[in-house]
Structure 1
Amino acid sequence: MIRRIRGVVLPERVERTFWIDGERLRTEPPAAAASKHVETVVDGGWLLPGLVDVHTHPGAEGPEDGFDEALLRKHLKAHADAGVLLVRTPGTADRMPAWVDTEADLPRVRSAGRWLATPGRFFPGAGRDIGEDELAEAAVEEATASSGWCKVIGDWRWDEPAVPLDVLKATVEAVHAVGGRVAVHCQTGEGSRNAVLAGADSLEHGMHLDPELLDRMAAQGTAYVPTLSAFAGSVEAWQGREPSARRSDWLDGWRGMVGNVRAAHEAGVIVLAGTDSFPCGTVATESGRLLRAGMPAEAALGAASWTARDWLGLPGLTDGAPADLVAYAEDPTAAPETLGRPQRVILRGRVLR
């Protein structure tokens, strides 16, 4: 059986027809279409490349929990059910098992190996605990053992120093030398600054990021992944606390993250949607938060779809591209509340919904 898809493709806003040829999209009917039944699985509406969550941690619901393969499968299935067909896991308690990214009904996975934590930073024992002098070597090991990414915990407590700039810079250079990429957790001004100056490929959270660094981020290609969803639920609780230096620091950091979303986009920084929260499959909510923070509707949508896919090395809806797409009856840039409820979900050429 040959499957056919027709709809308005985003972001191009051009109506196109595709045929599914195995796991690939084709803009011309394959030769077999002349002799086989053709099933139209999408006829009209809006077509997007599969959604993407660039910061999710399937397999454990807390960094201190053990990594569980059954839970990993459950979490990835929840992503796929919501149309999230590509995920990046920037740090886990263990490396991804061999079956990940081979299961036909589970999202494609770009992993970053184990969290890399230097003394006093991160939950003890949750990641790979190493000394600062071991960080560069360990980062290369994790990047080459995963999907090319590694994740460094660049800072931790709000009132303690971040990983020194020279150490972080040497780490980034070592990983780049083997063709890898570095994600850096940063929630302090120093940590965010060091991540940018070291040339990290992505800032995860970026609390207290100095907006004066946005032009440099844009120039060197450092992406901003604010993970607003992971913080938004705590805002009211922090506001209700007794005044303290820690309360002021957290709330200032939250306001800075939200404000930097629009500023980063306007500066030309790649802003991406990552949830860092549960349940899995909620990247549409993060896209909505980026929209409310000031990103244009199409850019906020792209942050959870075509922009993120391109950043992770996968094309959009073009001839020969992976047949990973979601379809909607309404334009999700005009009706963003529909983003998490696609009418059709197609992954690797298979109709999941």
Structure 2
Amino acid sequence: MAVLRVRGFALPEGEPVDLYADGDRWTSDPVPGAELVAEGWILPGLVDAHTHPGANAPGDPLDLDILKGDLRAHLDSGVTLIRSPGLADDPPDWFGQSDDSPRAFHAGPWIAQHGQFMPGWGRRPDPADMPAVAAEQAARTGWAKVVIDWKPGDEVMPVDVLREAVRRVHAVGGRLAVHSQHAAGGAVAVEAGVDSIEHGMGLDPALLPLMAERGIALTPTLSAITEHLAQILADPERARTNWHVPGASVHRRLAAAAVEAGVTVLAGTDSRPHGGVAREIRALVAAGISPHEALAAASWTARSYLGLQGLVDGAPADAVVFAADPRADLSQLDQPQAVIVRGKRAHRRPDPH
């Protein structure tokens, strides 16, 4: 197999690099005969930290053909790493391992309370059993995902139950993500010391410094929430009564405040079609976050949070290369020059347009 080579300016520092894919690891030691596949501005791969591939609609079973297509769409967009905090079922062994897939972390099926979450999806253990279920999942895949609040008026998961889940998950070396879209749920999540809050709509901004101190990440799924808000506001009657409006209306400010407070913010799309991480990056920038920080949330910061190094010797051989600096021109995100994952070039499908 030919050794691949990339050359250019590596983000985040923008320093010149010349890297060779020695199997699945980068090296700066020259390899004779290496194939120069791209020159330009190099990122250590894009990351979608909140995506649920494999099912067309909420409640649908996991479909392997849909899963393959979704993963390929991520890869075509320059995403070389995904985190799936919840799937319709346990994925096959090739998930995140095949040549047509980004690397992948996942939390298996969601864990929810009785009477909450999407019918047909997830597990609903009794509260006393939930910490053990979460720990068993994290021991298998590194992550567990718990839905701690759902609709207005639904019971928020008790903090003692969630705190015990965190303790048990950490004891097996795993991490715990939680779905929260109400202020009460966000408060419980921070108090319990979870590892990441997904969505976080309605989160009290006063909790952001404590999140930063405790290393609790926020994945605001900003593009999905703001696009849904726009649909609601298009119908004045619906806008007057829909519970999403107050939290969604200030969600941009929350995301920007989180970055300002030093919270690790992760880019996640939570939407179909897959491969739309560029929309999330643009949504973060529209919220007032600098292009550098928005790209960090979708690349080097997210990779570091998930335990992968960037463009250094010995790091996983992943990269996406752009002709120009995407921080200065976000349109570059729509046209990667090359995508490399596991030391191999991902051949992009032709643009249907």
TM-score, normalised by the number of residues in structure 1: 0.94
Is 1:158–1:187's contact at 8 Å kept on the other side of the alignment? no
Is 2:20–2:34's contact at 8 Å kept on the other side of the alignment? no
Segments of structure 2 that go 5 or more residues without pairing to the other structure are 348-353
- 1:1-353 equivalent positions in 2, closer than 5 A: 1-30=2-31, 33=32, 37-43=33-39, 45-146=40-141, 148-239=142-233, 240-242=235-237, 246-247=241-242, 249-353=243-347
Q: Deviations over 1:147-205 (max 9, x none)?
A: x0000001011222211111111111111111110110001111111111111111100
Distance 1:87 1:153 in 2: 20
The aligned amino acid for 2:311 is: L
Is 2:232–2:239's contact at 8 Å kept on the other side of the alignment? no
Q: Evaluate the alpha carbon distance shift between residue 59 and residue 125 of structure 1 in structure 2; reply closer, same or farther with a 3 A threshold.
A: same
| Corresponding residue of 2:351 | none
Distance 1:96 1:211 in 2: 36
CA offset at residue 271 of structure 1? 0.7
The aligned amino acid for 1:198 is: A
CA offset at residue 126 of structure 1? 1.0
Most deviating of 235-244 and 223-232: 235-244
The aligned amino acid for 2:279 is: T
Distance 1:3 1:51 in 2: 19
TM-score, normalised by the number of residues in structure 2: 0.94
CA offset at residue 246 of structure 1? 4.2
The aligned amino acid for 2:291 is: A
Is 1:209–1:256's contact at 8 Å kept on the other side of the alignment? no
Q: Deviations over 1:10-58 (max 9, x none)?
A: 111111111121221111114xx2xxx3322123x10001110000001
Pairwise CA RMSD: 1.4
CA offset at residue 245 of structure 1? 7.0
The aligned amino acid for 1:71 is: I
Segments of structure 1 that go 5 or more residues without pairing to the other structure are none
Distance 1:188 1:120 in 2: 17
Is 1:344–1:351's contact at 8 Å kept on the other side of the alignment? yes
CA offset at residue 244 of structure 1? 7.4
Is 1:10–1:47's contact at 8 Å kept on the other side of the alignment? yes
Is 2:338–2:345's contact at 8 Å kept on the other side of the alignment? yes
CA offset at residue 314 of structure 1? 0.4
The aligned amino acid for 1:258 is: R
SS across alignment from 1:339? helix
SS across alignment from 2:281? helix
SS across alignment from 2:129? helix
Distance 2:3 2:149 in 1: 52
Q: How many residues align?
A: 345
Residue identity (%): 47
Distance 1:299 1:322 in 2: 22
CA offset at residue 257 of structure 1? 1.8
The aligned amino acid for 1:167 is: V
- Which 4+ runs in 1 deviate beyond 6 A? none
